[in-house]
Structure 1
């Protein structure tokens, strides 16, 4: 029987859940406080040019193929996607550059040329171990509901696979285990960087996170129009299936009656009845009471020391010179450990590694020499945006440090630099109660995966989705969380005994979300 489902937030997780639940015949209403879909996958405008200011790396394409297939559609009919030949370009100096390729044989050859035959052998052993970890955890953990302790995970993996839990190496640090594969400190630094994909310190994360490198090696994809185009495609998919989207509709509170979620109240005072409410906000916002005191009991809070990193993020429209940019580029600092010591101390790195997404490179229209191009530039920063506001002087200092790191590797940017800078305090405004932590809880220590918020909460009828919930950060993981939410909501509602609707005095219930269907 069709049920009424309210989804708070139109990020990747909420969009995925909306499309899948609507495709199953439920009446879905998505409530988004912003004027557009996407959540963290948003854009900033610099000199009348829109530049992606959210996630840029698209992996695990098959996750999205499955979502579109489940809704009777094809991903390729909605967005233009093609595989990137270069996964990423890395630099330590103008003379020290290393590309990793979609073809692992080319990557192995490039690593051998860069650091010698022992390094190429280390790459082969690393690839095998990263793939093994991914294969062990893919179905039992990444694509299944959260478990709260190792024993249930072991049951899922299979008790007969007695060595599997040890094989994922949860009790050893990523930095330490990488030393078993790579003697060259540059390669150790390169592969340690994958911990920052989930906003974590490679010196404190478990070696389990090597699986992220395997995910990227399986394929990086380029989307024409960036992640915003993917968000728009998911919105259109949801609308085609019957979901209704209401933008500019902030939710004041989740209404709980008799110990169960019964709907939401908007900032406008309007009530919307629902049999289930899915929150695509960071769980920290729920815990902080951003959706009412009753809903605050649904999840646990995250202490500031357990937050993931925030970021300094520049959106830039400028001329570049001196370095042949690919789509994804990483410029490494000479002292990697110091970067994370600075962040742990509450300051952005004085001498940072820098990620640059050159959004017009490897696009359908090549960048003409001497013309401005769109860049997103990221430096990791502490998630203290709720306690510290960056002054103009600090912003200038951080911009100079970023430019020094790029210049050290041969990349020069136009001066003065046409840009907008987002700081942790800006991310706190966008992601309330997080301090600007972009990735939710940090993946530090062996128990991190068990402590991350799962789909179900302590209050029946309230569910969580998005990159800050299980299975973790990143666009494909947020989509997997949306799949889990759709599955668990459908499962729970189907098992409920029908009860009479609860009347809410002075309120109103929206009509069927399917009345807003398009296509």
Structure 2
């Protein structure tokens, strides 16, 4: 039953907006969600390829308990909403080789012992021992930051110190850079490169990101999941769930202005002039769009500007039907360039597409063990998504056809040196550039993760959930606690909880997002993200 006079508008139908809308609707509030695109899911989108569709956004599903808890609050079971499968083998990694050191491959597993055994075979028993010490440190970092940072609507150094304590906080080496910390753990530069890639999960450089990002290792080891049908089907499932729980959904409609009465939200104005009254607004648009005045000049003061030099990574992506030749692709694959430092210098310092960058490939028709689906075998080709990190300069650079072609050729050559010879059906290929991402996500320049996590202060520079405007709350990967599907979902949940608390509405289902635990293993998905 709806509560009179308690109307919420959620701007943006990404995962954070959908989670906020669901949690608020479950408390009996009148919720309207407005999405400017024709589809819901935000970055969890799919692109057509022949007679099928390919995930063209995030490809990872971790921290399942966040969604288990949401489903339970709604009287649902996650297993009834979406079909999940565990991935015992998380990803396959390969390196660009030369004549003296041919490329080799390394798989990581959900089981630490199996990963250690694979690392011992790849790089020696001493590195396997160091890997186990690394995973233990990652666990401690996560345990230290879980409650005072990830679950808090606003994180500050003082608050973190009060909750975690000086000893635990100092133990996670908050002032160290990830690359330097990894150098103390691993002697094999390839392993340092592999785990340094965790910085890109939040759109950052491993040479500038804090060592606390080692916690990603614990997140992945605690469960990664494959979703039947792809990640975009999960977005569709959340949208259908929202409708069943009474959320009014507007797609293909854009919010032009957040309206204010004094210092408080009073409603929103849509692109066709329609006014929607609102007692509160949850803004799941990128914080940069809000700060740039794209949701009204008066509301812009609710969010800080993101300096262009502090933008996170963008990407060049290709979706297509094709084949991988003799290379044994898994569902998730990462192929590394030779000069890792130059890749990030090209992107963040020189602001250009990398001469040679790391390539991520999601083979959507493959299981975590590499088996092709029956549909792909019948089709005679598989659905492939390829990503190369790129500078967030889509509002400035053209990224024209010659530049795109040259970038593609350089990275196909890298794949070939890793013994992966991709065959691309050009009639099914869609290329998305930073310029395209800048158009899809206004105000960002194509940055996919909000502000880059560079320097120890970066974690505290993402905007908190509550804003200085009464009734306006932030959610999404550009706000606290950060990017990625589960983190964005947590921000949506925090936004709903802050709103309910501010209105004095009891929330008997309220539980902070649960700690990651390996005690419940029902499915683990392999994944690397397009963040």
Task: Map residues 256-335 of structure 1 onto 2, 5 A cutoff.
Answer: 256-335=260-339
- Whether the 8 Å contact between 2:268 and 2:278 is mirrored in structure 1 is yes
Alignment CA distance shift 1:370-1:28 (3 Å): closer
Corresponding residue for residue 529 of structure 2: none
Shift of residue 35 of structure 1? 1.4
Shift of residue 415 of structure 1? 5.1
- Whether the 8 Å contact between 2:148 and 2:159 is mirrored in structure 1 is no
Corresponding residue for residue 131 of structure 2: 123
Corresponding residue for residue 44 of structure 2: 41
Q: What SS does the aligned partner of 1:293 have?
A: coil
Shift of residue 374 of structure 1? 0.7
Corresponding residue for residue 233 of structure 1: 237
- Whether the 8 Å contact between 1:20 and 1:238 is mirrored in structure 2 is no
1:395-426 residue CA offsets vs partner (Å, 9 max, x unmatched): 10011012012111111111564411111100
1:155-186 residue CA offsets vs partner (Å, 9 max, x unmatched): 222xxx33111122121110000011100000
Task: Map residues 90-129 of structure 1 onto 2, 5 A cutoff.
Answer: 90-92=93-95, 93=97, 95-129=103-137
User: Structure 1: which 4+ aligned runs deviate by more than 3 Å?
Assistant: 415-418
CA RMSD of aligned residues (A): 1.6
Q: What SS does the aligned partner of 1:322 have?
A: coil
Q: What SS does the aligned partner of 2:193 have?
A: helix
- Whether the 8 Å contact between 1:193 and 1:202 is mirrored in structure 2 is yes
Distance, in Å, in 2 between the alignment partners of 1:398 and 1:298 is: 39
Q: What SS does the aligned partner of 1:297 have?
A: helix
Task: Map residues 478-493 of structure 1 onto 2, 5 A cutoff.
Answer: 478-493=488-503
Q: TM-score, normalised by structure 2?
A: 0.90
- Whether the 8 Å contact between 2:203 and 2:449 is mirrored in structure 1 is yes
Distance, in Å, in 1 between the alignment partners of 2:103 and 2:472 is: 54
Corresponding residue for residue 473 of structure 2: 463
From 372, 386, 403, the counterpart of 2:381: 372
Distance, in Å, in 2 between the alignment partners of 1:370 and 1:481 is: 40
- Whether the 8 Å contact between 1:326 and 1:358 is mirrored in structure 2 is yes
Alignment CA distance shift 1:370-1:294 (3 Å): closer
Alignment CA distance shift 1:64-1:415 (3 Å): closer
From 34, 37, 48, the counterpart of 1:31: 34
Distance, in Å, in 1 between the alignment partners of 2:286 and 2:471 is: 17
Gaps of 5+ in 2: 507-531
1:451-498 residue CA offsets vs partner (Å, 9 max, x unmatched): 0011111211111111111111100001000110110111112289xx
1:80-138 residue CA offsets vs partner (Å, 9 max, x unmatched): 00111111100014641000011111101000010001100110110010000001111
Alignment CA distance shift 1:164-1:351 (3 Å): same
Corresponding residue for residue 419 of structure 1: 429
Alignment CA distance shift 1:370-1:488 (3 Å): closer
Q: What SS does the aligned partner of 2:377 have?
A: coil
> Comparing 327-336 with 212-221, which one deviates more in the overlay?
212-221
- Whether the 8 Å contact between 2:94 and 2:105 is mirrored in structure 1 is yes
Shift of residue 369 of structure 1? 9.2
- Whether the 8 Å contact between 1:173 and 1:204 is mirrored in structure 2 is yes
Shift of residue 249 of structure 1? 1.4
Corresponding residue for residue 429 of structure 1: 439
- Whether the 8 Å contact between 1:277 and 1:462 is mirrored in structure 2 is yes
Q: What SS does the aligned partner of 2:266 have?
A: strand
Distance, in Å, in 1 between the alignment partners of 2:92 and 2:372 is: 19
Corresponding residue for residue 140 of structure 2: 132
- Whether the 8 Å contact between 1:319 and 1:370 is mirrored in structure 2 is no
| 2:70 is the counterpart of 1:63 | no
